Amino acid sequence: MYKIGTGKAEIKCFKPGVGMMGYGMPHHKAVEQESIVYARAFVVEHPDTDSKFVFVNTESAFVTIAMKEAVLKRLNDNFPQWGYNHSNAMFTAQHTHSAPGGYSHYAIYNMSIPGFQPLVFNANVDAIYDAVVAAEGNKKEGDLRIGSGKFEEDWDVAFNRSVDAYNQNPDVEKCAPNQTHLAMERQMNLIRFDGADGKPMGQANFFGVHTTSLPNNRLKISGDNKGWAATYFEEYYKNAGNPDAIAIFAQEACGDISPNFHGKGKNWKRGKFKDDLKSCQFTGELQHKKAVEIFEAAQATAPLSGAIDCETVFADLGNTLADPVFARGESNAKTAPPAMGLAFIKGTPVDGKGIPDWLARITTGVVANSKKKMLKRAKAEGEDVYKHRLEVFEAQGNKEIVNENGERRVLGYSDVSKLFVPSFADPLIKEMKKQYRAGSLREHTWTPQILPLQIIVVGQLAIVGFPGEITTVAFRRLRAQLLETLGKRGVTNVIVATYANCYFGYCTTREEYDIQLYEGGHTPFGKWTCAAFQTHFQYIATEMLKPAAERKLDKSTRPPEFSEKELSLRTYH
């Protein structure tokens, strides 16, 4: 048996007018709170070795490195004996698009809010901290069990919103436009926690579907479909006499998966019902129903047993040479600093459009012209600069680059205030120009480049912390390779927990990337992004086959620290 503790705390982030994080729309501001949003945590400790880990899931769009470091600092200041660090603490999000934003230190993800919001940052940090403290305070002997089950094909729980990209992969069975519900991972994986007395303490399940049931014109804070699923499950616990048990509905392979109907004969691209809240609750109810089914079946399975082993490496994904094994045999498969493409800026017709069509048409021509201008300028600046630009464009492949977040340019303009698009044409451009003039966009990359990659092993289970969103096939490839590698040390189940510890954007396969749909446009490190992640995770997993003292993991690479000065220049109180 292990020692297990569970905790839950409200994220008290509501303030009328605060910008919502998820759709990138300046009009998407909270006017009221539809449902309370929470952070939930479970702690698992090995009774003989004192090794442990904590897993947290928040009802927010994502977590950030700065949030995690703030929580770790407070925990270690107040409870140093608990020994939490980046390796044995995994903080994730269920990715609701209807909770407040403005808590990232990276500028791009705050533009629509607008700016950095200390209220929201502190509310998230407080809730995570309180949930962990609560979990530490009620630890008791118990067991962990693993269960899984697939959603029946006629359960309208989720759909692939980019099936044309999915079909590019050679390792899938091609799906027709009316089979989008099959072009996805329909399996839910679940961890069940029970006390030594057999009384349930809670569960954490992992199933990939975007929490975008509620649209960007609904101005109410909500945990969306997974928030409702957690509410339903905790009510189920309460009715069974377990009012303190927690229910975590976390994400796995949701990069290209939407809860919203398309391709099944409906004439609108929202949920099952024209009432968005009813659709949201319906999708939540399906996830709850499947989780209960798996939870009850898991009671009859053998509990996990064995050591707890945790590792985290910070990797520079913008400067990675991918292993040829994962890169079609190519020996020069390099990534590039993060950049966003036009396909991303346009948005997705299923879950929310981006820039207006007229601006997208103009931008298409400007992108091609700016690439020529950048090459011409680079050639004039010298051979090394020109070579670098060629390498970046090669790595980014078919992407029509708009934002070079790693090198702080928009459409080739380093001085964003001189961007040809007038401020009145787009409020995000207006905000970006305002922040640039204030001097707040010049210190570090605008989106993360150095990312935390984490693996936690507890007995026969490995939980992989992936710092963003990953598409179905990219997920399958990563999970399969890690199951094969970690299987050598007795791991029989691998869960890929997404939105873990940071947020960088998307990871598509090379095949999906090449046709540049929405997800490919937000795959920031170029066409070899998936191969780069596979390379880094394989490195960590292989080292974890060795005793801890013999491992040679890079612990020197670290993410940048933002100065209070720069952050203050884009802070909105």
Question: Which ranges of the chain have pLDDT less than 70?
Answer: 262-269, 573
Residue 255 inside a domain? The answer is yes
Report yes or no: 200 and 192 within 8 Å, Cβ to Cβ.
Answer: yes
Closest CA to 364 of 342, 347, 345: 342
Grouping H, G, I as helix, E, B as strand and the rest as coil, residue 397 is: coil
pLDDT score of 360 = 74
Q: Measured between alpha carbons, how far is 485 from 201 in angstroms, rounded to an integer?
A: 31
Question: 322-373: per-residue pLDDT in tens?
Answer: 999 999 999 999 999 999 999 998 878 777 777 777 777 777 777 878 888 8
Q: Is the peptide bond before 114 cis (omega within 30 degrees of 0)?
A: yes
Distance spanning both ends of the chain, measured CA to CA: 48
pLDDT score of 266 = 47
Report yes or no: 43 and 2 within 8 Å, Cβ to Cβ.
Answer: no
Residue 341 inside a domain? The answer is no
Residue 433 inside a domain? The answer is no
pLDDT score of 269 = 60
Closest CA to 467 of 490, 437, 485, 447: 447
128: CB partners within 8 A, 6+ apart: 9, 39, 41, 56, 58, 63, 67, 71, 91
Report yes or no: 475 and 526 within 8 Å, Cβ to Cβ.
Answer: no
Residue 563 inside a domain? The answer is no
pLDDT score of 349 = 72
Pairing of strands 450-458, 308-316: antiparallel
State the DSSP string of 100-127: E----SSGGGGTTTTSB-HHHHHHHHHH
Q: At what angle do helices 383-396 and 357-381 cross, to 10 degrees?
A: 150
Closest CA to 493 of 191, 227, 94: 191
Question: 442-479: per-residue pLDDT in tens?
Answer: 989 999 999 999 999 999 999 999 999 999 999 999 99
Grouping H, G, I as helix, E, B as strand and the rest as coil, residue 494 is: strand
Question: 407-449: per-residue pLDDT in tens?
Answer: 999 988 899 998 888 888 888 889 999 999 999 999 899 999 9
Residue 369 inside a domain? The answer is no
Instruction: Count the neighbouring beta carbons within 10 Å of the beta carbon of residue 418.
Output: 10
Residue 321 inside a domain? The answer is no
For the record, the structure tokens of 334 come out as 């390099």
Q: Measured between alpha carbons, how far is 356 from 342 in angstroms, rounded to an integer?
A: 12
Report yes or no: 90 and 42 within 8 Å, Cβ to Cβ.
Answer: no
Q: Measured between alpha carbons, how far is 505 from 305 in angstroms, rounded to an integer?
A: 35
For the record, the structure tokens of 359 come out as 């601006």
Grouping H, G, I as helix, E, B as strand and the rest as coil, residue 521 is: helix
Using CA of residue 229, residue 235, residue 240, residue 244, what is the dihedral sign? positive
Q: How far is CA 522 from the centre of its chain?
A: 12
Closest CA to 323 of 531, 550, 558, 85: 531
Q: Measured between alpha carbons, how far is 168 from 179 in angstroms, rounded to an integer?
A: 15
pLDDT score of 267 = 45
Report yes or no: 155 and 261 within 8 Å, Cβ to Cβ.
Answer: no
Q: Measured between alpha carbons, how far is 179 from 64 in angstroms, rounded to an integer?
A: 35
Q: Measured between alpha carbons, how far is 48 from 45 in angstroms, rounded to an integer?
A: 9
Report yes or no: 94 and 249 within 8 Å, Cβ to Cβ.
Answer: yes
231: CB partners within 8 A, 6+ apart: 35, 223, 284
Q: Measured between alpha carbons, how far is 425 from 419 in angstroms, rounded to an integer?
A: 12
Closest CA to 192 of 206, 181, 182: 206
Q: How many CA atoms lie within 13 A of 160 on its CB side?
A: 26
pTM for the model stands at: 0.96
H helix count then E strand count, the chain: 14, 25
According to DSSP, the residues that pair with 347 across neighbouring strands are: 353
Rg (CA), the chain: 23
Grouping H, G, I as helix, E, B as strand and the rest as coil, residue 403 is: strand
Report yes or no: 143 and 19 within 8 Å, Cβ to Cβ.
Answer: no
Report yes or no: 22 and 92 within 8 Å, Cβ to Cβ.
Answer: no
| Measured CA angle at 42 (ends 37, 44), to 5 deg | 170
The count of structural domains within the chain is 1
pLDDT score of 426 = 82
Supply the mean pLDDT for the chain: 94
- Phi–psi pair at 352, nearest 5 degrees: 150, 125
Q: Measured between alpha carbons, how far is 218 from 23 in angstroms, rounded to an integer?
A: 11
Residue 270 inside a domain? The answer is yes
275: CB partners within 8 A, 6+ apart: none
Q: Is 386 exposed, middle or buried (0-12, 13-18, 19+ CB in 10 A)?
A: middle
List the domain range (segments joined by +) for residue 205. 2-314+449-550
Residue 333 inside a domain? The answer is no
- Phi–psi pair at 190, nearest 5 degrees: -140, 140
C-alpha distances in angstroms, 508 versus 164, 405, 500, 517? 13, 18, 17, 10
- Phi–psi pair at 140, nearest 5 degrees: -155, 165
pLDDT score of 263 = 38
